[in-house]
Structure 1
Amino acid sequence: MKFDIRTVCMGCLLVPVAFFAPAQAQTLPPELQQRPQVFDPNLDRERSRQLQEEDEERSRANRIEVPALNADQPDPELLPEGDQRFTLKSIRFNASSFLSDEWLQSVAGQYVGREIGFEDLNELLLEINREYRERKLLTARAIIPPQQIRNGELRVVLVEAKIDGVEWVNKPERVSERFYRSRLPELQTGSVLQTNRLLDALQRLNATTPGPMLSADLKAGDEFGTTRVLLDPVEPGRINAQLLANNYGSESSGEWQYGSVGEWNSPLGWGDSLSWAAIATEGTVYGDLEYRVPVNRYNGGIYAGYSRNNLEVINGPYTDLGIEGESQVWRLGFNQPWWLDAAWMLEGGFEYNSSQSETTFEGDIPLSETEVDRMQASLAVQFRQAPWYVRYVQNVVFADTTNLITGDEGDYQTFKGNLYSQRSVGETVRLVIKSRWQYALEDQTLPSTLLFQLGGPSSVRGYVSGVVSAPHGIDASLETHWQFTPGWETSLLIDAGYADDENLLEDTLASVGLGLQYRWNKRLTVNTVYSAAMTDVVPDQDSGQLLFQTTWKF
């Protein structure tokens, strides 16, 4: 028999039922009356949300960013070297938009007042051009034009290209042209092209916008010293969605899940998105809807979402008790990329959410009814540089809870971390390391909706979903994926977890598994995983879990 978190959590029946309906409490099985935890449908909803977030993290890790800036790099115009020697009294430069007179004269001073040759002048040009490259000024260079040197003065021309025009290689289809323009520096015809600012803006846009990206090509203009900027948008499909079927549910409310998840990209033409998830089993219905929109040129975004979960116990020893539950969450948040370069990104944000959950027994007898208001502050550090992708998110959660049956209230604080790391080895092998942890300051009275859960497809896979929930916990996974032939991939999965709960038979979870995945035509994906449990943490525990999921993208 499979063991499910709901059979662990039925201890909530004891206190509320004794208070509101003492006659009914006598019908509870003795083993159920000994359970200390609170049954909360929020736990089931949190697991569904966790699976969504893991899929989003995996998609983020595998996202391919387009090259931000492609520029023709002309060969340096060097002077022919020979045996001729001469001495310069001064070197004159035209005005530069990027290099200060002090810096230019400090460089020139190395070649003035001593005997030099043409090889030294070439080194002068290379030094100035290196400085341009280091400053990411791709359309600027120094040249020495043909000239007669009078009074020992050499003239060096600094060619800093001006914009000849801006064109679209392909016109934006779903995202407003103004959205892209607002995130770029001013590109005015006739002005000096600041490729450093353009490159930074393109890298920021492509790294922080989940949907549209933009690439720019720089081509020589019609006149000497000018450059034409060619913009090329890369936009996702209007609707990206998939149907799914899996056995990630629980025995008590239905193992087989069916549903759809997807995203509507740029419904308002501003890089915004409307995402959804709708998943059901025989005894549960879960839905989630979220809208995100960028609100500043640095792609800080506001999001608002709503989740709901209805649950009914239809299998197992407590089916006749008529246990039903429902929960819902409203959330509103803001996320801002604060700093980034070619490899690193630092993000920060906050979220407020309000949840309500209710569980009933025998139709209308209240077992639990709670409200939780949470404020969450988050900080994310991301590193992306082939072959590595690493992202760590640190959350601090402040929660106010109210038990609507007893009137009890509480304030709680938890610290939560999430790590996802991926490294490609060649073209066919990927290594993945994942970890989550939680620490609660008020561990003795922490409500069940704030507990850390272990077990299931997004945690220690050898155990049923939510087999353990505790105030403090940590899990970690090491995965090796090998694409041994086109379309087929096998994987080795090692999971471990720890829960700080004195009521468990064993506080350490561990499992080892093998996976097989088949992909066809970028639409159909079939995943199968068998993971064996290495420790027994609850009575009558299964030896392992066979997990199956198939998805169809359209």
Structure 2
Amino acid sequence: MLLAVLLSPAHAQVAPPNAGQILRQTEQAPQSLPPPQAPLKLDVENAGQSVLQAPPTAKFRVTGFRIQGNTVYPEARLQPLLHDAIGRDLDLAGLEEVAARITGYYRDHGFLLARAYLPAQDIHDGVVAIAVLEGRYDKIVVHNESLVRDWAADMPLQVLQPGDVVQTQRLESALLLTGDLAGVGDVASTLRPGSTVGTSQLDVAIPADRRVSGSVSLDNYGNRYTGGDRLGASLAVRSPLGIGDLFNVDGLVSDEHQYYGRASYQVPVGSYGTQIGAAYSALRYSLGKEFDQLDAHGTARTVGGFLTQPLIRRRDFNLSARIGVDKVELIDKIDLYGTRNARNLLNWTLSLNGNLRDNFGGGGVTSFSVSYLTGQLDFHDPLSKELDAISAHTEGHFQVWNFSLLRLQRLTDRFSLYGAFQAQVASKNLDSAEQFQLGGAYGVRGYPQGEGNGDQGYLATLELRYALTPAWQLAGFYDVGHVTLSKDPWTSDVNSRTLGDVGVAVRWNYAAHWSVDSALAWRVAGGTPDSGPDHNPRVWIRGSYYF
């Protein structure tokens, strides 16, 4: 009887948190923009090229042009650039200007070393020869001082081969993918004249990054019943095997007997930035406060694998795809009543993630993602299976779409505007591990963690930020979210909720090692919270140390 009551939507907001909900809250991370992209370190040393010699006052009646040395573009593609010069009397400077059009066309399309020039020639019948040096690699020299072995550091650069035409985007992508390897610092490169005319030697310097880094944090972001105050730590070990691999471990403990740990490992494969990896996490919790008498506790374990593939890698635009599979085991027990609810999820996820830097309105950064999840939920206890069959019907196959969009827009040297939107659409009623969540420090900040959970909904944030000093930032914000409690309701109870708040935030950073994030939020929509005490305003604070 107790479980049947807890399964109804009318009680969903006041029911004891379970393993799925707690896991979702624990692994929730703030929507983030990509870190500032360091300028691409690419120096170009140009070599001179002899050109047609003629007296400055000499003029030539041009009847046509003959283009030679071009392989990237056919002559028919280049000739229209020169049509207006045919039939004119041009001096040497005029002919050089015409040849420069071809140079500009190549460089506008990313061939940064291409150069069209007037070779030594005798002009007959007014036909002028224009030679094109498209700019090819002579050889590629790598100076590797990173934590990555030479053969592994060379992998992203293998897409650049001697004899290939130097193309900006392809070169930029290879250098950035090299810099993405764990254990590699900021890559620098130089193109210098090669051993033959029209070729360049590419020198690539690959410095080392730190072997180990991590952080320790203290916050009050947790769920009241599993511990609002939390201590967290993370550690990253770069290239432990010397192949650009990465090992991460994260841990968290609360003041109400919640424990969480996660370990992941990923390794690069091939020359195109592909990464494959695996992860394992475990969570254990006991409920306190008003639910202490239930003697409720549970566990969540997740094991998964993933593959990520950069599709576009540039300084100003990036797009990547990710496919992952996770098996999740959830167990909840209420010892006071001797009940147990064990269930498994098997989820496949395909996602696209990207970011864009532009100069619109003074410059800004946009980040976006879309993901599709298809999963299977199975109950292992007959009573839980029976209760689900007469209520939410969550067991079986389900699908979930998630969308997010973020924008940080520069307004002035000190003011910026930040906006974020995320949404979830579900095919049916979901287990709590897959539900959309509104409340908490990463959602509608006027409400506690655990408030406003449902199968689908949206969340939007708008912040006006002011850089008081390089270390201090102030912000005023507005959060609003809406959630549908059950995709397919089975009672006549209210099935949706809208939450909103306004507030102020203060952020402090010091010497890249210390940071404090704090927020004060007042509710403006949604009424009194159900999942925690009625604090208005609500205070959130997080302090972190990075090493």
For normalisation by structure 2, the TM-score amounts to 0.84
The answer to whether the Cα contact below 8 Å between 1:37 and 1:448 also exists between their aligned partners in 2 is no
| Distance apart, 1:469 and its partner CA | 1.0
Q: Which residue of 1 aligns with 2:311?
A: 338
For 2:418, give the aligned amino acid. V
Q: Which residue of 2 aligns with 1:352?
A: 325
**What is the alpha-carbon distance in structure 2 between the residues aligned to residue 470 and residue 453 of structure 1?**
7
**What is the alpha-carbon distance in structure 1 between the residues aligned to residue 12 and residue 213 of structure 2?**
48
Q: Which residue of 2 aligns with 1:128?
A: 102
- CA spacing shift, 1:503–1:331, aligned 2, 3 Å: farther
**What is the alpha-carbon distance in structure 2 between the residues aligned to residue 111 and residue 538 of structure 1?**
76
**What is the alpha-carbon distance in structure 2 between the residues aligned to residue 275 and residue 300 of structure 1?**
18
The answer to whether the Cα contact below 8 Å between 2:179 and 2:187 also exists between their aligned partners in 1 is no
The answer to whether the Cα contact below 8 Å between 1:13 and 1:33 also exists between their aligned partners in 2 is no
The answer to whether the Cα contact below 8 Å between 1:69 and 1:202 also exists between their aligned partners in 2 is no
| Distance apart, 1:291 and its partner CA | 1.6
The answer to whether the Cα contact below 8 Å between 2:190 and 2:204 also exists between their aligned partners in 1 is yes
Q: Which residue of 2 aligns with 1:6?
A: none
The more displaced of 229-238 and 245-254 is 229-238
Q: What SS does the corresponding residue of 1:457 show, helix, strand or coil? A: coil
| Distance apart, 1:196 and its partner CA | 4.0
2:137 aligned with 1:137, yes or no?
no
The answer to whether the Cα contact below 8 Å between 1:463 and 1:544 also exists between their aligned partners in 2 is no
**What is the alpha-carbon distance in structure 1 between the residues aligned to residue 194 and residue 155 of structure 2?**
24
For 2:283, give the aligned amino acid. N
**What is the alpha-carbon distance in structure 2 between the residues aligned to residue 91 and residue 506 of structure 1?**
72
The answer to whether the Cα contact below 8 Å between 1:12 and 1:368 also exists between their aligned partners in 2 is no
**What is the alpha-carbon distance in structure 1 between the residues aligned to residue 135 and residue 83 of structure 2?**
26
The more displaced of 399-408 and 302-311 is 399-408
The answer to whether the Cα contact below 8 Å between 1:87 and 1:114 also exists between their aligned partners in 2 is yes
Instruction: Map Cα deviations across residues 130-152 of structure 1 (whole Å, 9 max, x no partner).
Output: 12212322223122355554665
Q: Which residue of 1 aligns with 2:542?
A: 549
The answer to whether the Cα contact below 8 Å between 2:183 and 2:210 also exists between their aligned partners in 1 is no
| Distance apart, 1:162 and its partner CA | 5.0
**What is the alpha-carbon distance in structure 1 between the residues aligned to residue 197 and residue 48 of structure 2?**
15
For 1:461, give the aligned amino acid. R
For 1:96, give the aligned amino acid. N
The answer to whether the Cα contact below 8 Å between 2:24 and 2:434 also exists between their aligned partners in 1 is no
Q: Which residue of 2 aligns with 1:520?
A: 510
| Distance apart, 1:329 and its partner CA | 1.1
For 1:434, give the aligned amino acid. A
- CA spacing shift, 1:383–1:366, aligned 2, 3 Å: same
The answer to whether the Cα contact below 8 Å between 2:16 and 2:291 also exists between their aligned partners in 1 is no
Q: Which residue of 2 aligns with 1:202?
A: 174
2:448 aligned with 1:464, yes or no?
yes
For 2:433, give the aligned amino acid. T
The more displaced of 146-155 and 227-236 is 146-155
Q: Which residue of 2 aligns with 1:414?
A: 400
The answer to whether the Cα contact below 8 Å between 2:37 and 2:315 also exists between their aligned partners in 1 is no
**What is the alpha-carbon distance in structure 2 between the residues aligned to residue 491 and residue 36 of structure 1?**
32
Q: Which runs of 5+ in 1 are unaligned?
A: 1-9, 17-31
Percent identical residues: 19
The correspondence of residues 212-251 of structure 1 with structure 2, limited to 5 A, is 212=184, 214-221=187-194, 225-233=198-206, 235-251=208-224
- CA spacing shift, 1:379–1:121, aligned 2, 3 Å: same
Q: Among residues 18, 26, 48, which one is paired with 1:48 in the alignment? A: 26
- CA spacing shift, 1:126–1:81, aligned 2, 3 Å: farther
Q: Which residue of 2 aligns with 1:452?
A: 436
The number of equivalent residue pairs is 520
- CA spacing shift, 1:521–1:34, aligned 2, 3 Å: closer
Q: Among residues 273, 284, 302, which one is paired with 2:258 in the alignment? A: 284
**What is the alpha-carbon distance in structure 2 between the residues aligned to residue 537 and residue 75 of structure 1?**
75
2:495 aligned with 1:508, yes or no?
no
Q: Which residue of 2 aligns with 1:12?
A: 3
Q: Which runs of 5+ in 2 are unaligned?
A: 386-394, 486-491
Instruction: Map Cα deviations across residues 137-193 of structure 1 (whole Å, 9 max, x no partner).
Output: 22231223555546656454433445454334x52321233334322256566x365
The answer to whether the Cα contact below 8 Å between 1:215 and 1:233 also exists between their aligned partners in 2 is yes
Q: What SS does the corresponding residue of 2:473 show, helix, strand or coil? A: strand
